[in-house]
Structure 1
Amino acid sequence: MAFRLAPTAVAEGFRLEAHDTVGSTNALALDHARDGDAGNLWVVARMQESGRGRRGRAWATPHGNLAATLLVLVGSELRLAATLGFVAGLALADALEAVVPKGRIAIGLDGASQGTNRFELKWPNDVLASGAKLAGILLESAALGDGRFAVAIGIGVNVVAYPPDLPYPATSLQALGAAGDAETLFLALSDAWSANARLWNEGRGLGAIRRRWLDHAAGLGGEVAVRIDGSVVRGTFETIDEDCRFVIREHGGNLLTIAAGDVHFGAVASAGAG
């Protein structure tokens, strides 16, 4: 099966560039923007040879997994564009719900799960299944000469394989017993993106996105440890604020708002964040 866009995505003017193997779909999308691409372009591949995650970490995408990047062009408000990562998380969770048969994925996150979603969203950019990382999302941007910014919304999903040597649990759809391929998942993702982007509505619907995200949040109300620039803060995952920043209630009762950090739940949070 070849990669293709959902009819809703085609009707809304999205375009598709599909590859078997690339270096990085994010890098390729940003190159297109610098060369004058108008955006609303999906760049997808079955394999990435030099993918990356947050903070420059390597993100392997072996053949059969999904590497997808949506290129969008925005004005000068990069802070608002950063919330597109939450739109992407919801779109991917919706796509996974659509293509993975019910009963294939168990629910649970080391005692911190809300117990209502097969696929949970871990702040700020991961999708979990059975408490393990199934997918990651990475936003990268580049300034364009006309004052606008190109934003590459990268989505990597472990469809057939996952890295075995990570410091946290990871999994793949295949390891969880869910059949399917990258092409089928991307078709559903392109459809789900359109629906969630309409809800986001260029930022005017961020409140609705926030509420939906919290309904899918991993670890909400549970023990959490957040590593911030070498130090670790512990407490309870309280909420995300109106700008989608992480809010933790420290053990003394103080509320702390965090814009960037590595989050650990459950037993890992209790023992230490690594």
Structure 2
Amino acid sequence: MAFALGSRAIAAGYRLAAFDQVGSTNTEAMARAREGERGSMWFVTSEQTAGKGRRQRAWIAPRGNLASSILEVMDVPPATAATLGFAAGLALESALQKLSLEANMRRASSDPLKFLLKWPNDVLAGRQKLAGILLEAEVVADNRLAVVVGIGTNVVAAPEGTPTPATSLAALGVHVGAEELFTALSDAWVEFRGIWDNGRGFAEIRRLWLARAAGLGEPVAIQTGATTIAGTFDTIDETGCLIVRTAEGKHLPIAAGEVYFGSAASVGAA
């Protein structure tokens, strides 16, 4: 099966560059933007050899996993563009829910699969990481902002030794291919990109994201460099910052950091 856009993505004018193997779909997308490509365009492969995740960690997609990046060129400030990651998480969660229906029918006697969104840009299955999202932005020649949203999903295999234990769709009993997942993702992207509306619809994206948030109301520890902030995950604010409620009742906004929830919060704080 070859990679293909969904019908909704095609109708919305999206285009696709698919690779049998590539170093990094994010790198390919940004290189095209520098050369004058103005999107909206997907870059996708089922084998990525030199990708990266947050904090410059390697993100290698062995054959069968999904590495995908969407290039959007827009007239928004970088701080606004950063909130597009929340729409990306919602799009992937929606596609995963759609494709996991059959697996959930087989799990009728047990808890159904539930996908959660971990701040800032991960998708979890239970407490295990299933996907990661990486945003990169660069001003291009016409003074517009080229935004690349990379979405890497563990379809057939998951890495070991990650800060958050990882899993794959295959391990969860969801037997779909990277190509099928991408088609569903491309259509879901149109929906949530439309709701986000260059940042004007972030209030609705925020509401939808919080309804699917991992660890909301639970103990949380955030490591930022040598500093650890502990408290309760209270909400995210109108800029996408995580709000921690401390034991003293203060509400602290966190813009970036490694997040540990629940029992792991004490590990992160150690």
Pairing 1:256–2:257 present: no
Percent of residue pairs identical: 51
Aligned pairs (5 A) from 1:50-69: 50-69=50-69
Aligned equivalent of 2:222, options 223, 226, 244: 226
Distance in 2 (CA, whole Å) between partners of 1:129 and 1:271 is 21
| Equivalent position of 2:144 in the other structure | 148
| Equivalent position of 2:9 in the other structure | 9
User: AA paired with 2:206?
Assistant: R
User: AA paired with 1:5?
Assistant: L
Aligned pairs (5 A) from 1:88-103: 88-101=88-101, 102-103=103-104
Size of the aligned set, in residue pairs, is: 266
- Cα gap change, 1:76 to 1:242, in 2 (>3 Å): closer
Question: Could you list the runs of 5+ residues in structure 1 that have no partner in the other structure?
Answer: 107-114
Distance in 1 (CA, whole Å) between partners of 2:123 and 2:97 is 12
Q: What is the DSSP-based 3-state SS (H/G/I as helix, E as strand, rest coil) of the residue aligned with 2:46?
A: strand
Deviations 1:58-88 (A, max 9, x none): 1121110000000011225111111110010
| Equivalent position of 2:127 in the other structure | 131
Distance in 2 (CA, whole Å) between partners of 1:61 and 1:9 is 24
Aligned pairs (5 A) from 1:86-125: 86-101=86-101, 102-103=103-104, 118-125=114-121
Pairing 1:198–2:199 present: no
Deviations 1:184-228 (A, max 9, x none): 100100010001111111211110000000000000000100001
Pairing 1:270–2:266 present: yes
User: What displacement does 1:127 show?
Assistant: 0.1
User: AA paired with 1:227?
Assistant: Q
- Cα gap change, 1:34 to 1:170, in 2 (>3 Å): same
Are the aligned partners of 1:104 and 1:177 in contact in 2 as well (CA < 8 Å)? no
- Cα gap change, 1:67 to 1:134, in 2 (>3 Å): same
| Equivalent position of 1:28 in the other structure | 28
Are the aligned partners of 2:76 and 2:198 in contact in 1 as well (CA < 8 Å)? no
TM-score by length of 1: 0.93
TM-score by length of 2: 0.95
CA RMSD of aligned residues (A): 1.7
Aligned pairs (5 A) from 1:212-223: 212-223=208-219
User: AA paired with 1:209?
Assistant: I
Deviations 1:111-164 (A, max 9, x none): xxxx99700000000000021000000001122122112111000000000111
Question: Could you list the runs of 5+ residues in structure 2 that have no partner in the other structure?
Answer: none
Q: What is the DSSP-based 3-state SS (H/G/I as helix, E as strand, rest coil) of the residue aligned with 1:272?
A: helix
Aligned equivalent of 1:188, options 162, 184, 193: 184
Are the aligned partners of 2:82 and 2:135 in contact in 1 as well (CA < 8 Å)? yes
